[in-house]
Every structure is written in C-alpha cells, then in structure tokens.
C-alpha cells in the first residue's frame, strides 16, 4: 500500500528532512531553502521549520537567498 506524503507522515519524515538540511553540499541546502515555504504549506504546525529557517538564513548567501 502506497503511503501518501504530507502532514500525516511529517513526524516520520522530519528526521530525514533535517539531515538533508545539514548536507555539506551547498546545492542540496540551496534547493531545500527555496522549497521551505512549500514544506510549510504541507504541514499543519510549521513551527518545526523555524530552526531550519534560521539555519538557512545564517548559511552562505546562495542558500540564504531561498528563504529571503
């Protein structure tokens, strides 16, 4: 049975998402920073994303650009 992604599966996905935000490759972090608003729209409580937002905001300019 195929499980749909979204709010219901967020608790199991957040560790993977956080791990990806810590990737050493700037390209990965940049892509995630540009899609942070989309992730926020998929989950009910986007407060989980505040620390990730802050992390991206304090990253290199190419990554910061995505959240600004």
In total, how many domains does the chain have?
A: 1
Assess if residue 5 is contained within a domain.
no
Domain residue limits at 49:
12-67
* 65 or 45, higher pLDDT: 65
Question: pLDDT of 3-36, one tens digit each?
Answer: 566 677 777 888 898 999 999 999 999 999 999 9
Does residue 55 contact residue 24 with C-beta atoms inside 8 Å? no
List, in order, residues 6 or more apart from 49 with CB less than 8 Å away.
36, 39, 40, 43
Assess if residue 47 is contained within a domain.
yes
Region 36-42: what's the mean pLDDT? 88
pLDDT over 90 percentage in the chain: 56
Assess if residue 37 is contained within a domain.
yes
pTM for this predicted structure: 0.82
* 57 or 48, higher pLDDT: 57
Assess if residue 45 is contained within a domain.
yes
């Amino acid at each position: 049975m195929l499980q749909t992604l979204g709010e219901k599966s967020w608790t199991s996905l957040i560790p993977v998402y956080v791990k990806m935000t810590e990737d050493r490759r700037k390209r990965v972090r940049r892509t995630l920073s540009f899609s942070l608003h989309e992730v926020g729209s998929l989950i009910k409580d986007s407060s989980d994303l505040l620390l990730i937002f802050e992390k991206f905001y304090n990253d290199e300019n190419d990554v910061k650009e995505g959240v600004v």
